[in-house]
Structure 1
């Protein structure tokens, strides 16, 4: 794999880092809004400008002097990105001018020992070099005017940043990498399954990766679990609901298995989603569920299983994704409380009986190894290949044990079955008068097929197709 330098985008809040990140990676991966402090975690993506491939890191608004709270955690994430990078692009706002925060960041970058720092003056469309005048005082060399929203100056900026660091690719792209603003929105972007970096430069191949979305209500421990799996503070885990706003994808490997973890924003009840930013976060979470292979639904053992937990589980079931359930913070309960939570789970989420349930402590790492084993089994079940002869034999055995009920004087007749899809597995049953088969018999067949082919952890869909009756029209006459 060729060497790919790492480019970190750093700057104070709302200077356009996420807009530039989306343009460089030709994606919509990072949330963008006219809202200060939207990005919080490090966000990786693969980019290419002209002949230069690289890895970009989007960071949150940087306040180096933050003493505590969420701002301190965001600053730690940014400092880690600087430490991982080969080049830092320091983004400033050409329309707002230089301010005290810019000076603080410039001082920190000088002390970091980073060998290449590029000062980019964003929002300079229509202003040219006039936008850069005030920024010479930062002492970071010649400021470069750009427009992340319109693409002005981006190619020159990246070529300057990566010169002497990486060999250009042998063939330039057929299309102009940076045209109008529609390109920046990612309309012709890279494959959504493109790998993200693990560590500094290593990226995992696209094949044989399990995309695992971790979902649940706010503050159940999703980010804590990801940090425990990775063994580092990769995402901000803070005792405040709504800390995670974006869907962060992270590649890692455990026991020879490759995964892409997706940390998602906590899903609230619809009536409690007030901010526009939070609404976008909910959309990103729902998209992550639809795009993944396996969903890990996290519940909080120290609160009751709520209606919102059931709504999230229902959406996962509706999308047909394989599912594993983890009840977190289990270590803080006594025997009576544990028994109560298990009864609640069986009563309120009984429609998830196909999913394996684990009790864990994300903070201490208890139960995490068994959790990943269930994820692997659920993924294997979701993509299982079911042979037509075996399906048909199991169908005939199910009929011999219990025939479908009659409708009037006719009884539905099922002849054979075959697989019609994966993730979730789809079984198509052919026969006559199958429209009359009730849901109870459908569930009976689901149980038979699930047990026969070891499909625990994934929903199973059954579709009935009745043969055409060539005499139906004559009968109607």
Structure 2
């Protein structure tokens, strides 16, 4: 066994609809990849952690591979698959037992032979078939012994991955310290381990920040991801709906660890035609709920729409910290910039707590400042607020502006404490607090924000009135 500390990378490759995402989900024991009876569902590279016995590895799901594609989204998908092959330690080439060998399979087999990578041929969808009959015609691909499996039922999958990892056991030990690719893998593992050990709600420098990039289709979400990473990690293509899955990518900037989540563009409900898009919307909403910070991207070259406001409202409802990025700013003149600013103030004024940045994701302009605001929003979302200081701020606010009376009673606030994080929750105790108006609640929220520097995160305030024993029937 090679005594290296990095995790081997296993890439899943094959033409469309052969079951790569189903196998990916089984290997990673997750439902991270979208699976449906449609071709072309997966487009970007999708990473996940798997384990065989005591041996961990990274699995990479890829889109349907057409090596001969010359242009368009299919070519971009092919580039993503070629990159996955180049960075892998072993490739699992999936074919379809029920469809048999076709010309695409031969094209992929030729490319894999030229790549020089270790390749294991997996004949999927072999459930209910005699294994010898299922694999017989696939010998002609010239990639060694085929393994008959069923990704959906799990048949033969353990033997397949065990064999794939065993091909790495003959590597010379000196490779553990040689080569840029090995160094990158070791760095990735170290970053993952650091993130895994970081305590929830700990210091921001130690906590891995889960950052979701959301917005309407074609606003530049994938371009921003690539700009942050410094490479074409996800497909950025001038066509709405290019991203369909929520893709998680880990990276490090300075002493900060991040998990970037590239999401599908959210359309108006009436425009979600395809079942694929419905799945994508669900994955995007789940990504928002699972992340720490959201970057809401707007397109400076189009009007701020009701859909932008709907997306912002959902982020606010889930309580996630938020930073707003208005993209494609470099293409506007002064009058257009003023118009966008007025629209933002009018349609998204309920996001006044969020820092707004004007950027060009394509040129990388404003991206560093955007990331600083993400860090600040994350720190605010996980801030620890001491009870004595909260109570002092509360009593000072009440002294300066007491809550209005309701009938003969005036609400009386006694003390406050923190009830939760992400978003921060402040619980205020007192008497007759059900009479507090929304305007006074906003007043208190502003005071707490200023005193505790809670920019970039929603803030929840909960009132708890003491029980009055003199009220009959209480």
Assess, with a 3 A threshold, how the Cα gap between structure 1 residues 166 and 405 changes in structure 2: closer, same or farther: farther
Query: By how many angstroms is 1:47 displaced?
Result: 0.2
What SS is found at the alignment partner of 1:37?
coil
What is residue 110 of structure 2 aligned with on the other side? 107
| Residue-by-residue CA offset, 1:81-115 (whole Å, 9 max, x unaligned) | 0000110000000000000000000000001111x
| Residue-by-residue CA offset, 1:154-201 (whole Å, 9 max, x unaligned) | 11111111115259xxxxxxxxxxxxxxxxxxxxxxxxxxxxx99435
Query: By how many angstroms is 1:268 displaced?
Result: 0.3
What is residue 215 of structure 2 aligned with on the other side? 216
What is residue 88 of structure 1 aligned with on the other side? 91
What is residue 278 of structure 1 aligned with on the other side? 277
What is residue 409 of structure 2 aligned with on the other side? 410
Query: By how many angstroms is 1:49 displaced?
Result: 2.5
Quick check: 1:18 aligned with 2:21? yes
Distance across 2 between alignment mates of 1:417 and 1:4: 48
Query: By how many angstroms is 1:130 displaced?
Result: 1.1
Distance across 1 between alignment mates of 2:241 and 2:366: 25
Alignment of 1:13-162 (within 5 A): 13-114=16-117, 116-127=118-129, 128-162=131-165
Assess, with a 3 A threshold, how the Cα gap between structure 1 residues 315 and 166 changes in structure 2: closer, same or farther: farther
What SS is found at the alignment partner of 1:130?
helix
What is residue 359 of structure 1 aligned with on the other side? 358
Contact 1:70 1:238 in 2 (8 A): yes
Distance across 2 between alignment mates of 1:14 and 1:135: 17
Select 2:10's aligned residue among 7, 10, 18: 7
Distance across 2 between alignment mates of 1:341 and 1:399: 38
Contact 2:7 2:185 in 1 (8 A): no
What SS is found at the alignment partner of 1:200?
helix
Query: By how many angstroms is 1:444 displaced?
Result: 0.4
| Residue-by-residue CA offset, 1:199-225 (whole Å, 9 max, x unaligned) | 435232222211100000000000000
Alignment of 1:330-409 (within 5 A): 330-409=329-408
What do you get for the CA RMSD once the two structures are aligned?
1.4
Distance across 1 between alignment mates of 2:26 and 2:132: 22
| Residue-by-residue CA offset, 1:244-278 (whole Å, 9 max, x unaligned) | 00000001111221111000000000010011110
Select 1:200's aligned residue among 176, 182, 185: 185
What SS is found at the alignment partner of 2:409?
coil
Query: By how many angstroms is 1:318 displaced?
Result: 0.4
What SS is found at the alignment partner of 1:473?
coil
Question: What stretches of structure 2 of length at least 5 have no aligned partner?
Answer: 171-181, 199-206
What is residue 178 of structure 2 aligned with on the other side? none
Contact 1:50 1:155 in 2 (8 A): no
What is residue 316 of structure 2 aligned with on the other side? 317
Q: Structure 1-normalised TM-score?
A: 0.92
Query: By how many angstroms is 1:312 displaced?
Result: 0.3
Query: By how many angstroms is 1:36 displaced?
Result: 0.3
Contact 1:212 1:295 in 2 (8 A): yes
Assess, with a 3 A threshold, how the Cα gap between structure 1 residues 439 and 198 changes in structure 2: closer, same or farther: farther
Which stretch shifts more, 382-391 or 50-59? Answer: 50-59
Alignment of 1:255-270 (within 5 A): 255-270=254-269
Contact 2:22 2:151 in 1 (8 A): yes
| Residue-by-residue CA offset, 1:311-336 (whole Å, 9 max, x unaligned) | 00000000000000000000000000
What is residue 184 of structure 1 aligned with on the other side? none
| Residue-by-residue CA offset, 1:228-258 (whole Å, 9 max, x unaligned) | 1111100000000000000000011112211
Query: By how many angstroms is 1:142 displaced?
Result: 1.0
Alignment of 1:429-468 (within 5 A): 429-468=428-467
What SS is found at the alignment partner of 1:226?
helix
Contact 1:4 1:166 in 2 (8 A): no
Alignment of 1:413-428 (within 5 A): 413-428=412-427
**What is the aligned length?**
445
Which stretch shifts more, 376-385 or 123-132? Answer: 123-132
Assess, with a 3 A threshold, how the Cα gap between structure 1 residues 438 and 260 changes in structure 2: closer, same or farther: same
Q: Structure 2-normalised TM-score?
A: 0.92
Alignment of 1:231-246 (within 5 A): 231-246=230-245
Distance across 2 between alignment mates of 1:430 and 1:6: 54
